């Protein structure tokens, strides 16, 4: 199986949400691939309930009340209508995760994030490069991004996160030759639980190398480092959450947009790693 299909299948089975976890979480109850669906009877399923103290703290402005009945917003998801458990809690649209409660996520149901996927082509070696951060919490390579604040547009969240994590100014993006929201939906994140999960909107911006070579970037906030990363199968495989799959989707968009100037061999190479 090629890398695209491998990552797609792992995403559909939300492998990271079932087999990896935030450092504060208890062990996840083992959920075999054939038991993921809420529609499949799994009478032995007994996940631990975990809610981080900060999420339960009444003074945490970004967290919902403990009692879901006290929420005064509609639970929404890019993945469709949210099913509820017998006790009225939102159920993860990708199925069981092995942990109940909200974990470290503030919101019941979907917790909305935005990621900025910024690419360029190096004129020297004609390689496609993507701007990545090193996450402070896991040390993994990731796309820059973060949780949306209330009433923010997705561009506002993206710009704020790029400024906080990389000292990026939104005028840096004004030279983009291609910009598009390439995906909106479930993120296979280690913090996901049965009742709270992350959904992200990803904005792809392709910039000429001239524009990126003038930028002065500096890692900050949740990012302890950054780099312009070459797109190789090894890098793509090791991205945080489902960011590797997102990057392969972005490459497809770029190859079809004609905005990216690549030589034939690089074009063929990128086609080969992003095909289904």
State the residues that interact with ligand RP5 by CB under 6 A.
113, 115, 142-143, 145-147, 187, 189, 198, 200, 222, 241
Q: Give the C-alpha separation, 241 to 142, whole Å.
A: 8
Specify the residue, 142 or 260, whose C-beta has the smaller distance to ligand RP5: 142
- State the DSSP code for 180: E
Shortest reach from residue 240's CB to ligand RP5, in Å: 7
CB of residue 22 vs ligand RP5: minimum separation in angstroms? 10
CA 39 to chain centre: 26
Compute the least distance from the CB of residue 128 to ligand RP5, in Å: 20
Instruction: Closer to ligand RP5 by CB, 200 or 274: give it.
Output: 200
Tell which phi-psi region holds residue 262, choosing left (phi > 0), alpha (psi between -120 and 50) or beta.
Answer: beta
Q: Which is nearer to ligand RP5, 113 or 248 (CB)?
A: 113
Q: Are 262 and 123 within 8 A, CB to CB?
A: no
**Rounded CA gap, 275 and 7, in Å?**
12
- Give the three-state DSSP class for 201: strand
* Smaller CB separation from ligand RP5, 47 or 146: 146
Minimum CB separation of residue 239 from ligand RP5 in Å reads 10
- Token pair 């503030």 is found at 106
Give the integer Cα–Cα distance in Å for 119 and 113.
20
Phi-psi region of 217 (alpha: psi -120 to 50; beta: other; left: phi over 0): beta
Helix (H, G, I), strand (E, B) or coil at 257: helix
- Give whichever of 128 and 203 is closer to ligand RP5, judged by the CB atom: 203
What is the closest distance, in whole angstroms, from the C-beta atom of residue 97 to ligand RP5 in the complex? 14
């Amino acid at each position: 199986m090629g890398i695209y299909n491998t990552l797609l299948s792992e995403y559909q089975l939300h492998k990271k949400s079932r087999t990896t976890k935030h450092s504060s979480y208890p062990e996840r109850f083992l959920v075999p691939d054939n038991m993921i669906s809420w529609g499949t009877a799994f009478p032995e399923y007994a996940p631990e309930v975990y809610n981080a103290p900060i999420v339960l703290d009444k003074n945490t402005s970004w967290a919902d009340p403990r009692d879901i009945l006290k929420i005064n917003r509609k639970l929404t998801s890019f993945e469709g209508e949210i099913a509820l458990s017998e006790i009225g809690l939102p159920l993860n649209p990708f199925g069981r995760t092995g942990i109940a409660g909200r974990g470290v996520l503030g919101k019941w149901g979907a917790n909305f994030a935005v990621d900025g996927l910024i690419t360029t082509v190096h004129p020297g070696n004609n390689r496609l490069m993507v701007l990545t951060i090193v996450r402070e919490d896991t040390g993994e390579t990731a796309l820059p991004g973060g949780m949306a604040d209330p009433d923010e547009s997705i561009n506002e969240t993206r710009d704020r996160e790029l400024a906080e994590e990389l000292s990026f100014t939104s005028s840096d993006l004004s030279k983009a030759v291609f910009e598009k929201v390439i995906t909106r939906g479930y993120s296979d994140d280690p913090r996901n639980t049965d009742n709270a999960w992350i959904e992200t909107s990803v904005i792809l911006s392709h910039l000429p190398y001239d524009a990126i070579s003038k930028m002065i970037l500096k890692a900050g906030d949740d990012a302890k480092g950054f780099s312009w990363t070459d797109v190789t199968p090894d890098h793509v495989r090791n991205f945080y959450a489902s960011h590797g799959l997102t990057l392969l989707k972005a490459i497809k968009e770029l190859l079809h947009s004609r905005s990216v100037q690549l030589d034939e061999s690089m074009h063929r190479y990128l086609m080969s790693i992003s095909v289904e």
